[in-house]
Amino acid sequence: MPSRQTKSPLSGKIPGKIPDGNAKREQLALSEERPDDEALTTDQGVKIASTDDSLKAGERGPTLLEDFHLREKIMRFDHERIPERVVHARGAGAHGHFQVYKSLKQHTRAAFLQDPAVKTPVFVRFSTVVGSRGSADTVRDVRGFAVKFYTSEGNFDLVGNNMPVFFIQDGMKFPDLVHALKPHPNNEIPQAQSAHDSFWDFVSLTPETAHMVLWVMSDRGIPRSYRMMEGFGVHTFRLIDHAGKAQLVKFHWKPLLGVHSLAWEEAQQIAGKDADFHRRDLFDAIVAGAFPEFELGLQIIDEADAQKYGFDLLDPTKLLPEEIVPVERVGKMTLDRNPVNFFAEVEQVAFCVGNVVPGIDFTNDPLLQARLFSYLDTQITRLGGPNFAELPINRPIVPVHNNQHDGFARQTINAGVANYLPNSLSNGSPRPTPAAAGGYQHYQERVDGHTVRMRSPTFQDHFSQARMFLDSQSPAERAHLTDALCFELGKVERVAIRERVVRDILAKIDVGLAETVAKAIGVTDVGKTPRRNTAGKETQPSPALSMAATISDTIATRRIAILVAPGVIGRSIASVKSNLEKRGAVVEYVSVHLGTIPSSDGADVEALRSLLNTPSVVYDAVIVADGDESVTMLAQHPDAHRFVQEAFRHYKALGALGRGQALLLAAGIEDPGSQPGVVLSPKPEGLVKEFRNAVAQHRHWTRVTNKPPQFSAPV
Ligand code: HEM
């Protein structure tokens, strides 16, 4: 049994009574092992005199079987890996808490949603879906957004994604979808990508994928950060109040930093330059105290209104537009602590849509119903047996009593002989709790029907909402989505698949889109579909589906690079840096080498990064510092050219102080002063305000960047 920790994670404080009263944190601390001046022992607790050499018969002789330390050490090493998740293998996690703004007792009896004073501990795991555990973070994919609430009534898991709909309507198709999406079984290529024949083959033959495919091809498929994406429960769930009355509900997470994405070329470059980009971003933000925050939003629908929206609320390929039923923001989740051990927490956490508490219930969404089986089932293999709920990260903060015993890796020692119910030998314990006293009771929905293997006719319209999504995009977003389709389908080798996607999917969403894509991928026949709205119903755009109107008034946690070289004017750039840092930006000097960069005014600067190994794709914005010598050196440096060219191509805010604009010109950025998001000024005070606004805008998508950069402009 590991000893109780002697120091608390990151803070170095002595635990015991955890100051913020986070019950899960206190519980996890009991399982932590923090060697601090401890003796090395075997797993049996025997102290070991040497761990560097195996036991041999003579200095140059064979190793002896009796070397129990060697055998144990190697055996434990041999079995360190467990199977990765069959989907969502790559992820990152964080701890935090959740609080409601005001009681939701009129909607649900769930205890953690009653009292704004209650802080419910949470653990969140963000993930990609397709790639293996070691794949890159910034691939085009759906992101998992799974939250475990450790409530006073047991664990509630909200296992969602960063997109509000899904590819398929019935869980029966999930293995087909994932087989098509994963690398080809013959050569296991390509890794973490949907740009290949089998995925698009499946799409071309499965029209219900149309809506979700547009989401994945949109900028939502390449988020800037886990901290800057929305989350969705996808399915319609039920809330049950104290009187047993049910309402339907859709769950949302809204990030307080807004919803932002990368540019596609940038995302691909980051995948090579920093495959851990999102994982690092989450970890670093929490270390810096810039705690990610998300508001929980609810769309609540009376059961009686379930049929009135023109689509079926049980169909997970449909969303309920916020303009029709507004999202009420009911509480906030704050992520304020990194895991202590990735494996123990992020890898061993086991989410399950079936983990609900009284006051929350399911609907008959056939995708949700299959999920209710899948998670528990897969975790038996992944976590090596049925006892994974006992792992520290999965344990509820309330007591667990039942007669589910034994099995691999059982931790609990069940005393007594009465491991059955009813019993008299332990006073009938553990005994059920009546619903009125807090026992979980399923909602008593009336069900009546024939046993059929079929899809409801109310699930048949696959294109109206895809079109609504497309029509809701800003011109820049629509252009990105079109480019993404051209990219992905351009990687499909079989012409027949490309043709089918264009003719049977895209043309039914929007013929203009189909024609543009068809041209790019060498397809000549887009079919005979009339121009619009033949497939499905007329829909209104939903502005909430565009990221264009998102929060853009903060530079908090934005990463800004300042390019400097020897001879820089240190004082002016230092004042810019400190101004940006005061607003929460993370600002780093990047130079021709690491360490101290001599200035021309005695205010030397410290370069944390060098042009040799740090590209601008890992920053949100770039400033070029002032100083004749510094700018001349940078203007002759190919890596400095690439640094600003790529920032320009990726629509980022660019600033130049004084002579700094000469680097922009040298790198081929014509007339920089007239470019959107490019801020020039001779003085720091003239630069900072406008530059801050430019960074807060996130990206300047209207910038025209398709002109090839010129390398010959004079300095
Ligand atoms: C019938 C359809 C689905 C099936 C059978 C299914 C199955 C699975 C399985 C087997 C895992 C791995 C779990 C583990 O090893 O612990 C998983 C993970 C996950 N699934 Fe699903 N899934 C389905 C649909 C969905 C949908 C619609 C969503 C989003 C609403 C979703 C979100 C997630 C997330 C976020 C994870 C990662 C959980 C984590 O971080 O550990 N899945 N799914």
The alpha carbon of residue 539 and the mean position of all alpha carbons in its chain are separated, in whole angstroms, by 30
Tokens of 108: 């649900």
67 three-class SS: coil
Residue of 22, 95, 155, 161 marked active site: 161
What lies within 8 Å, CB to CB, of 640 at 6+ separation is 563, 565, 592, 611, 634, 663, 667
Backbone φ, ψ for residue 223 (5° rounding): -65, 150
Distance between Cα 691 and ligand 1 center (Å): 41
Residue 711 has what pLDDT?
38
The single-letter DSSP state of residue 215 is: H
Q: Across residues 500-513, what is the average pLDDT?
A: 96
Residue 13: predicted pLDDT: 40
**pLDDT reported for residue 5:** 37
How much is the pLDDT for 330? 98
pLDDT tens track for 236-251: 999 999 999 999 999 9
Long-range contacts of 508-516 (CB under 8 A, 24+ apart): 508/207, 508/210, 508/462, 508/463, 508/534, 508/535, 508/536, 509/210, 509/214, 509/463, 509/466, 509/467, 509/470, 509/535, 510/467, 510/470, 513/470, 513/482, 513/485, 516/482, 516/486
For β-strands 143-151 and 120-128, DSSP reports them as antiparallel
Residue 18: per-residue pLDDT? 52
CA–chain centroid gap for 370, Å, is: 23
Residue of 145, 104, 144, 111 lying closest to 128 (CA atoms): 144
The pLDDT mean for the chain works out to: 94
Question: How many other C-beta atoms are found inside a 10 Å radius of the C-beta of residue 421?
Answer: 13
Give the H or E element holding residue 649.
helix 638-649
Tens of pLDDT, residue by residue over 8-34, are 333 334 334 455 789 999 999 999 998
Please say if 88 is a catalytic residue.
Answer: yes
Q: Is the pLDDT of residue 513 over 50?
A: yes
Six token digits for residue 166: 């899904």
Give residue 128 CA to ligand 1 midpoint distance, Å: 11
Confidence of residue 1 (pLDDT cuts 50, 70, 90): very low
Whether 144 lines ligand 1, by a CB cut-off of 6 Å, is yes
Q: Does position 322 have pLDDT exceeding 60, yes or no?
A: yes
Q: Is there an atom of ligand 1 within 6 Å of 161 CB?
A: yes
CA 38 vs. chain centroid, Å, equals 38
The confidence band for 709, taking pLDDT boundaries of 50, 70 and 90, is very low
What is the distance in A from the centroid of ligand 1 to the CA of 88? 7
| 328-337 vs 91-100, strand pairing mode | antiparallel
- Contact between 699 and 267 (Cβ < 8 Å): no
Is the CB–ligand 1 distance for residue 382 below 6 Å?
yes
Cβ 220 vs Cβ 319: under 8 Å: no
Contact present, 671 and 703 (Cβ < 8 Å): no
Quickly count helices (H) and strands (E) in the chain: 19, 18
Supply the residue whose CA is at minimum distance from atom 4 of ligand 1: 371
With 0-12 / 13-18 / 19 or more C-beta atoms within 10 angstroms meaning exposed / middle / buried, residue 677 is buried
Q: What is the pLDDT of residues 160-172, one digit of tens each?
A: 999 999 999 999 9
Candidate from 133, 143, 159 with most ligand 1 atoms within 8 A of CB, to mutate: 159
Q: How far apart are CA 223 and CA 220, in angstroms?
A: 6
Q: Binning pLDDT at 50, 70 and 90, where does residue 36 land?
A: confident
Q: How far is the CA of 87 from the centre of ligand 1 (A)?
A: 7
Could you tell me if residue 522 is left (phi over 0), alpha (psi between -120 and 50 degrees) or otherwise beta?
Answer: left
What is the identity of the amino acid at 160?
Answer: G
Q: Does the beta carbon of 371 sit less than 6 angstroms from any atom of ligand 1?
A: yes
Q: Is 250 in the pocket of ligand 1 (CB under 6 A)?
A: no
Nearest to 465 by CA among 650, 93, 697, 207: 207
Q: Which atom of ligand 1 is nearest to the CA of 93?
A: 40
Of 586, 595, 594, 665, nearest to 619 by C-alpha is 586
How far is ligand 1, taken at its centre, from the CA of residue 413, in Å? 32
- Give the number of the atom of ligand 1 that is nearest the alpha carbon of residue 86: 12
Query: Which tokens hold the place of 109?
Result: 């009896």
pLDDT surpasses 80 at 522: yes
155 is catalytic: no
Residue whose structure tokens are 């800037």? 224
Look at residue 706 in the predicted model and tell me its pLDDT.
60
Distance CA 37, CA 322 (A): 57
Percent of all residues in the chain with a pLDDT value above 90, rounded to a whole number: 93
Is 125's pLDDT higher than 60?
A: yes
Give the mean model confidence (pLDDT) for residues 36-44. Answer: 94
pLDDT at 137 over 70: yes
